[in-house]
C-alpha cells in the first residue's frame, strides 16, 4: 500500500498545485489558494525526495542501456557485407526496369478497364 501512496503522491501534489494556482482566479478563494498551492508544491517535493534514488537509478540505467545499444549497433555494422559498386548499379537497373514494366502494365490494364466501362455505359445509354 505504501508504494501505491508513494507512486500517487506526485499526481496528488500536481493536482493540489494546479488547484491552488487555478483558485487564484476566483475572488472568494484568494485566501485559501496560496495555501493549497504551497501544500501541492510540498507534496511534489516530498514525492521527488522519496523517489529520488529510484529516479537517479532509472536515469543511469537508461543511459547505460543506450550506450550498450549503440556499441552493439556499431559492432553489428562492422559485420555487414556491403555490396560493391557494380552490384549496386545492377540492382538499381533491375529496380528501374521493373518499375517501368509494372507502370506500363498497370497503364494498359487501366486503359482496358476504362474502355470496357465506357462500352457498358454506352450500351446502357448512360453516356
pTM of the model: 0.42
The three three-digit cell numbers of residue 63, written as one number: 543511459
The three three-digit cell numbers of residue 99, written as one number: 518499375
Count of domains forming the chain: 2
3-state DSSP percent of the chain in helix, strand and coil, to 5: 90, 0, 10
pLDDT tens for each residue of 80-109: 999 999 999 999 999 999 999 999 999 999
Same domain, 39 and 77: yes
The model's confidence at residue 33, banded by pLDDT at 50, 70 and 90, is: low
Same domain, 63 and 3: yes
Same domain, 75 and 89: no
- The domain in which residue 43 lies consists of 1-82
Same domain, 59 and 112: no
Amino acid at each position: 500500500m505504501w508504494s501505491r501512496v508513494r507512486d500517487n503522491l506526485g499526481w496528488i501534489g500536481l493536482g493540489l498545485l494546479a488547484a491552488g494556482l487555478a483558485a487564484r482566479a476566483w475572488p472568494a478563494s484568494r485566501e485559501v489558494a496560496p495555501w493549497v498551492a504551497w501544500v501541492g508544491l510540498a507534496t511534489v517535493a516530498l514525492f521527488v525526495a522519496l523517489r529520488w534514488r529510484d529516479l537517479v537509478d532509472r536515469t543511469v540505467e537508461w543511459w547505460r542501456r543506450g550506450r550498450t545499444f549503440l556499441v552493439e549497433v556499431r559492432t553489428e555494422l562492422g559485420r555487414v557485407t556491403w555490396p560493391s559498386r557494380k552490384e549496386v548499379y545492377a540492382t538499381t537497373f533491375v529496380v528501374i526496369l521493373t518499375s517501368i514494366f509494372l507502370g506500363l502494365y498497370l497503364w494498359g490494364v487501366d486503359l482496358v478497364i476504362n474502355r470496357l466501362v465506357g462500352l457498358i455505359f454506352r450500351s446502357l445509354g448512360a453516356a
